[in-house]
Amino acid sequence: MNKLDNQINKFFSNVQFLSPWLIRFGLGIAFSLHGLSKFPLPPEALIKYFGFSPFLASLVALSELGAGLFLIIGGFIKDPIGNMVTRASALAIVIVMINAFALAHRDWFITTKLFTSEQIFLFIIGLYFLLRGNR
């Protein structure tokens, strides 16, 4: 079993660096698409459904789009600025997701609906990058 494990580890050792990039791109693209889906600005659906002002509804859409894009961009910047861009983007994602849970999905808390939705994974991966940064 140990020999097989060593062979598997050797096979994947050359591509392990891709793991955080797959997660970063997945979250960044998903969040950007969520933001883009609210265009053109102001997003009428947010205004009607939640009673948001046009400014707040536009801010949500731009925050989602920007957080997703900057999460990806932050990974390419290899100094403390890149780390801060990653963490700031992740913080925006976490804040948006907490508000999404509190406003749109209140009935989901600690139910199977929460843990079978993509929203919980957007939140968890956002927390991952908030805690980890570019490390």
Please report whether residue 1 resides in a domain. Answer: no
Please report whether residue 74 resides in a domain. Answer: yes
Domain count, the chain: 1
Rounded Cα distance between 77 and 21, Å, is 13
Instruction: Name the average pLDDT for the chain.
Output: 92
**Winning range, highest mean pLDDT, from 104-108, 114-118, 124-128:** 124-128
Rounded to an integer, the average pLDDT of 91-104 is 92
Please report whether residue 2 resides in a domain. Answer: no
| Nearest to 24, CA basis, from 115, 107, 113, 87 | 87
Q: Is residue 84 within a helix (H) or strand (E), and if so which, with residue range?
A: helix 80-103
Please report whether residue 6 resides in a domain. Answer: no
Rounded to an integer, the average pLDDT of 88-107 is 90
Rounded to an integer, the average pLDDT of 96-125 is 82
pLDDT at 104 over 80: no
| Nearest to 97, CA basis, from 51, 52, 63, 56 | 63
Rounded Cα distance between 24 and 20, Å, is 6
Exposed, middle or buried by CB within 10 Å (0-12, 13-18, 19+), for 4?
exposed
Please report whether residue 8 resides in a domain. Answer: no
30 close to 118: Cβ distance less than 8 angstroms: yes
Please report whether residue 108 resides in a domain. Answer: yes
Structure token digits, residue 17: 């660096």
114 close to 105: Cβ distance less than 8 angstroms: yes
pLDDT tier at 101, thresholds 50, 70, 90: confident
Rounded to an integer, the average pLDDT of 104-112 is 71
Task: List, for residues 5-47, the tens digit of each pLDDT value.
Answer: 998 988 888 888 899 999 999 999 999 999 999 999 999 999 9
Please report whether residue 102 resides in a domain. Answer: yes
pLDDT tier at 108, thresholds 50, 70, 90: low
pLDDT of residue 102: 86
What residue numbers bound the domain in which 84 lies? 16-132
Task: List, for residues 59-71, the tens digit of each pLDDT value.
Answer: 999 999 999 999 9
